[in-house]
Structure 1
């Protein structure tokens, strides 16, 4: 007999509410703190525009993980709904304490909870959660559902361009990039998520060259595979739309659905700053 397994993720997974609901994925919010005000990500007040404006004005901006109590409440609700296990898929534990909160909550949960550290951020975590949900819907047990999330996340490539490393430096998320770039903040850095951390990829002198390089690297990553591709930005809609259009043209029928282009959520946006462009390429299992 198949297990009834629920899938939980967090708001940094960048899943639109209607898509998460369609696939039965439960989303738990992180918080963004702007000045003295705290907002749940996804709340009407916590807009990317508000975050971008605060960062430009040097208003203090920080983020906060969900508490173990909040995650435990979700796990308890799912148990009450008749689920027999949960797979909880979250952004990299190297960059957030969300995984740790989930692990603490899992130990107190009334049903088995497998916590998956996606070692990713943004929609790459979202794709992992959706793959997990597909296996759960097909009757997979908790081990198969968790494995689907891990495999999808590991196969995905997350690349991004930032106007400046200053915001990553402020938040302590710059990782290995600091060693390469040091104080050379005038360059246009290309970064990638490597083993759960922000890692340096290349440095480029102009924005145009940086975005052209992002495009080439995304096409290279896709190879001959069928892929899902997403472009995200913070306060840079025109360039994001242009990149999405070029990727759609170059990858053609390899892309499942459309190359999506949308604004990054408030929590991740707080750490990368205005002007950021990201692309995720996720091979389809």
Structure 2
């Protein structure tokens, strides 16, 4: 029997398939536009294909799901027996996904609470898992939303990119900031804060930047019980080394997920991305 409170998110949560199935979480895909071809993230374009396209400097853009995409997901959840839906999405600063979900919620057959988590990738995924676990424990719609918002408020996400150029192209940082980074030959460390990407530190080499990324994650985790995710794009060995170091150094580690980001986020960060999400329980 379906849980009375259903959880819907979007494809940028990058939740492991097993976790989505275990908790009956629905994901609505965003779209990657590669040249003149529109492809659904997760099913029609892989992160590897996206990385190759970026390296060849093919034009790549992304677009939100339509309100009808969300409406179908909400109707399906209601047909499975849901009496309420929590719809959790990436930061509205990055995408119109939240607005599309909100429009669809107005016509849904059951109450839908649409939440702009201010997060992305597994920072969003951990919010969805928290809401699902609350619902599975018998929590109400409001309690599931509160569980997700509590997770979001405590979340930290740090990341390294080889170049700021892709973030500049996508309008996620200013041209002056990108030019400064290139001119100084620095390797930027960035953070997700207030739903936006902002500079954190500038480091001279990639190896020092990745070492600093590790230190930031360990410091943020402290001795608390935490879940951690390590993301990458076209850098699996680098990600696995970092994940192994965090397994050794984070005393309260509960779960650690290592995965490649999907095409939507990859389009804005470029190959070489390495990110860490720390989510206190």
TM over 0.5: yes
Measured against aligned partners, the alpha-carbon deviations of 1:189-238 in whole angstroms (never above 9, x if no partner) come to 00000100001100111001100100000000001101111111001111
Mapping of residues 130-209 of structure 1, within 5 Å: 130-174=129-173, 182-185=179-182, 186-209=185-208
Alignment check: 8 A CA contact 1:106 1:112 kept: yes
Instruction: Work out whether 1:41 is the aligned partner of 2:41.
Output: yes
Measured against aligned partners, the alpha-carbon deviations of 1:97-153 in whole angstroms (never above 9, x if no partner) come to 110001100111111100111101100100000000001111111111111111111
Alignment check: 8 A CA contact 1:161 1:211 kept: yes
Mapping of residues 12-27 of structure 1, within 5 Å: 12-27=12-27
Count of residues paired in the alignment: 277
| TM-score, normalised with respect to structure 1 | 0.94
Deviation at 1:16, TM superposition (A): 1.8
Measured against aligned partners, the alpha-carbon deviations of 1:237-285 in whole angstroms (never above 9, x if no partner) come to 1111111111111114x1113x32221111111110000100000011x
The runs of 5 or more residues in structure 2 that have no matched partner are none
Structure 1 runs (4+) deviating above 2 angstroms are 178-184
| TM-score, normalised with respect to structure 2 | 0.95
* 3-state secondary structure, aligned to 2:104: helix
Deviation at 1:80, TM superposition (A): 1.8
Distance in 2 (alpha carbons) for counterparts of 1:165 and 1:183:
10
Distance in 1 (alpha carbons) for counterparts of 2:171 and 2:213:
24
Quote the residue 1:230 is aligned against.
229
* 3-state secondary structure, aligned to 1:139: coil
- Matching residue within 254, 257, 263 for 1:256: 254
Quote the residue 1:282 is aligned against.
279
CA RMSD after TM alignment: 1.3
The runs of 5 or more residues in structure 1 that have no matched partner are none
